[in-house]
Chains A and B, each alone.
Chain A
Amino acid sequence: MKRVIVACGSGVATSQTVASKVKRILSEKKISAEVEAVDIKSLDHLIKNCDVYVAITKPKKAYGIPTLNGIAFLTGLGMDAEVEKLIAALK
């Protein structure tokens, strides 16, 4: 199963919220994937087995996997474009 990782500063609020939104979108689109919310400190360690990175803080380096703008999932601004990228990355 493909894996999506969502990371924010503390893993407390934003990443959890964005992860649950991503999960909802994927289930509506009938795409199965694991979605995990983590804090940014664990990202380097946990991203290794992931296929898509949803970034809420500005990415400090490239991880070699598709990286999406997590703020779009939070505010809804520009979300459609990010959803398309998400679907393309999980196909």
Chain B
Amino acid sequence: MNYSNLFQKDLIILNAEYQDQNDLFNSTFKSLQSKRLVNASYGAALTERESLYPTGLANEKIQFAIPHTDVTYVNRPFVQVVRLKKPVRFAHMGMSDQQVNAEIVFVLGIKDPKGQVGLLSEIMSCFNDQSFIDHVRTINDSQQMEAYLKDKFGR
């Protein structure tokens, strides 16, 4: 499956700085809504979903998060990529007593769960790949980042 279309340079935010998760979500929601990728209820739905079922994840190499919510709030599928200057705290998926300091956030706009079932496993294998992590940590131009991600997720 080719997921490269989900990545667009105007959905890639590098070296962003937010007060906290709320601040990050508000800013993400505004940007997604202005592009009509999500509907007006998406922001509240994303926040509620995250508090009930957090999406922070960690492996030996990196701490990250994959916030997402129900398909009904998504108009068109997307992945918003946010690289944080200062990590933002998320609760760990399935273990809400554990915290994750996410340095990269992939906001998943999933519209077709069955059709996009491979997307998350691709993302997971990327975050286990040191070369991917090095690239995503260091590319400082959103156009270059778009090209890199399109290539990675277009195979």
Contacts and interface: CB of A to CB of B under 8 A. Distances in A.
Interface of A: 8-14, 16-17, 20-21, 40, 55-58, 69-71, 74-77
Which applies to chain A's interface (DSSP): helix, strand, loop or mixed? mixed
Interface string B103-122: 00000101001101111110
B71 interface: yes
B117 A75 contact: no
B59 interface: yes
Given A14-B120, A17-B124, A77 B59 contact: yes
Q: How large is the interface on B (under 10, 10 to 19, 20 to 34, 35 or more residues)?
A: 20 to 34
Interface string B77-120: 00000000000000001111000000000001010011011111
Contacts of A74: 57, 93, 120, 124
A21 B94 contact: no
